Amino acid sequence: MAFLDNSGDILLDAVLTDTGRMRMAKNEFKIVKFALGDEEINYELFNKNHPSGSAFHDLKIMQTPVLEAFTNNTSTMNTKLVSIPRTNILHMPILKLNTKTPSSSGLASDICADFPQGFVLTATNALETSDTKLKNTPGVLFGVNPAKTNTGIIVDQGLDSDGDPSRAMPLDIDLIENQYLVQLDHRLLRVVNPAGNPGIVESKSYVDDDYIAAYFFSIKHNAVSKLSPIPPNDDTGAAAVQEFNGPLEQDFNLD
């Protein structure tokens, strides 16, 4: 892995996967879909006050060195771009880790300083049965008996408006996410339904050549209760368990 000099012309660097080379050898290689991402873009380098004018506002961004092409999908294209035809969108919804609900597991910084932004997953039945304190410890998820823990990873989606009334508006229907892709190393992990005991393994869509499994999930939204802003004088308790002060979409569990 190396960096490519991007100080001159815009670069296009491509590499084929094993499957791609096989199809090219059979004269069957044809690109039918592609994705774009901004994984290596630092938008803070945009300089609208550049002395040479608007043509140079994004000069530093355009000349940032980029990684050479490689096929490991766990290390590239984690932030894909989307196309939205209409031009009247002021704010986009984002995802945030929820650590406020009683069933959320919190961050691993509570128990392990080496993983301040992650979670600890137990790997042996003996560990889970010998230390009962782990069951209610923030940041710990049971990997052997997932149904025996009452914690999980909970993610909120909504507008990060910080209570700004000008942005406290219902989310447009075309901005609501209703499908999610979950990817993980199939050699180590499975996605399970926590309602079972020890948990029902969800059906994966496929496992790629890097042993990364893909799971697709669809979610039904409640357009009445899930898409409206939290009232200023909220007496329902919603604000206490939500990561957003603005409009909310829906929570979803990744237990």
In tens digits, what is the pLDDT along the chain, a chain of 255 residues?
677 777 766 667 888 888 888 999 999 999 888 888 888 888 889 999 999 998 889 888 888 888 888 877 667 777 888 888 888 877 778 888 887 776 776 777 666 666 667 788 888 888 887 766 777 777 788 888 777 776 778 887 777 766 665 555 666 777 777 888 888 889 988 887 766 555 677 889 989 878 889 998 887 644 433 344 445 445 455 566 777 766 554 444 444
Give dist(CA 164, CA 144) in Å, integer: 43
Give dist(CA 26, CA 20) in Å, integer: 10
> Which pair of structure tokens corresponds to residue 218?
């669809």
Do residues 41 and 67 touch, judged by C-beta distance below 8 A? no
Q: What is the pLDDT of residue 165?
A: 58
Do residues 141 and 180 touch, judged by C-beta distance below 8 A? no
Q: What is the pLDDT of residue 34?
A: 85
Give dist(CA 80, CA 82) in Å, integer: 7
Output 223-231 pairs: Cβ under 8 A, ≥24 positions apart.
223/173, 226/250, 227/170, 227/171, 227/176, 228/170, 229/168, 229/169, 229/170
Q: What is the pLDDT of residue 164?
A: 62
Q: What is the pLDDT of residue 169?
A: 61
The string of DSSP letters for 61-88 reads HHTS-EEPP---TTSS-SSB------S-
Whole-prediction pTM: 0.66
Q: What is the pLDDT of residue 255?
A: 40
Do residues 239 and 215 touch, judged by C-beta distance below 8 A? no
Give dist(CA 178, CA 182) in Å, integer: 13
Q: Residue 90 class from Cβ within 10 Å (0-12 exposed, 13-18 middle, 19+ buried)?
A: exposed
Beta strand residue intervals within the chain, DSSP E: 3-4, 66-67, 94-98, 120-121, 140-141, 154-158, 179-185, 192-193, 200-201, 206-207, 212-218, 252-253
